[in-house]
Structure 1
C-alpha cells in the first residue's frame, strides 16, 4: 500500500501566565529557521493526541506545565510554514511559574498583549490577532472561506 502524502501536523499553545498581572503571554525566539518569535509548539508524534502534543511542546520549550483552556483554531494555509505544508491546532493555555527557554527555543520572553514583538514566525501574527479577539470577546475567529488562512 502506498502511503498518502499529507500535510504535517503540529500543535501550539498560547500560554497565559495566570499568576502575573494582565495575564501576559510567553513567546519563544526560534533557535532554527525560520527566524522570529513564535508561539510555543511543534510537531505531533505518532500515537499522540493534539492536546498531549501541545502540553508536551509547551513543557519542552518553556519548562511550564500548562492547562489547556480552549481550542483557538486550526490553521492550514499551505504557505503558513516556509518549510512545507503544515497544519496546526492552536490552543489557549494557562500556567504559573517562571518560564525558561529550552529545547528549540533560543530565547524566551513574556509579553503584554499590548506590546507584542514585530518579527513573528510563520503565520503567528494572524494567530495572535485571532487570540486577541478571543481574549476580548470569548469568541474564536470566523472561518475565512476560500482564503486558506485558517
Structure 2
C-alpha cells in the first residue's frame, strides 16, 4: 500500500430544518480548534460514504439523520492543513431538538445564513454551507 499516495476521504453533513436553520459544531481539536464547522469526519476503510455521514452526524451531534441529497465533492488539495482530503457533502434532516455536542465537538448550535458573518468557520465550510443553502432552496 505504500507505493501510492492517495487523498483521505471525508464526509460533511448539513443538518437543516424547514426554515433553513442549520447545525454547526465547534471543533474540540486542531486543526481549527474552537472554529465552527459542519459535522463530519473521515470515512472508515470498508465503510460506504453514506453510512459514514450518518455515523459522523450521530457521533458529533447526537442526532440520527436521514440523508436528503448529495450536494457536492470538495477536493482542493489545500482544503485541510493535515493533508489532501476529499469531502463528500450531504444535506440531511433530523430532530434538531436532540442535538448535543459529542466526540470531536465541544459545542453545538443552530445558525442562519446571516450568522455566518459573525463566526470563524473551519476549512472551506463557508463555501460548502452556501452550496448547501443553494441546494435546499425550493
Which ranges in structure 2 are unaligned for 5 or more consecutive residues? none
Task: Determine whether 1:6 maps to 2:24.
Answer: no
Whose Rg is larger?
1
Q: TM-score, normalised by structure 1?
A: 0.83
1:23-102 superposed matches below 5 A: 23-35=20-32, 36-96=35-95, 97-102=97-102
Correspondence for 2:119? 118
For residues 106 and 3 of structure 2, the distance between their equivalents in structure 1, rounded to whole angstroms, comes to 35
For residues 105 and 93 of structure 2, the distance between their equivalents in structure 1, rounded to whole angstroms, comes to 19
Shift of 1:23: 3.9
Bigger shift: 60-69 or 92-101? 92-101
Shift of 1:132: 2.0
More helix by share: 2
For residues 6 and 119 of structure 2, the distance between their equivalents in structure 1, rounded to whole angstroms, comes to 31
CA 1:2–1:107: 2 relative to 1, 3 Å: closer
Shift of 1:113: 2.8
CA contact (8 A) 1:29 1:38 kept: yes
Superposed CA offset, 1:24-50 (max 9, x none): 111000001122110000000011000
Shift of 1:135: 2.3
| 3-state SS of 1:131 partner | helix
Bigger shift: 40-49 or 127-136? 127-136
Q: TM-score, normalised by structure 2?
A: 0.90
**4+ aligned runs moved over 6 Å, structure 1:** none
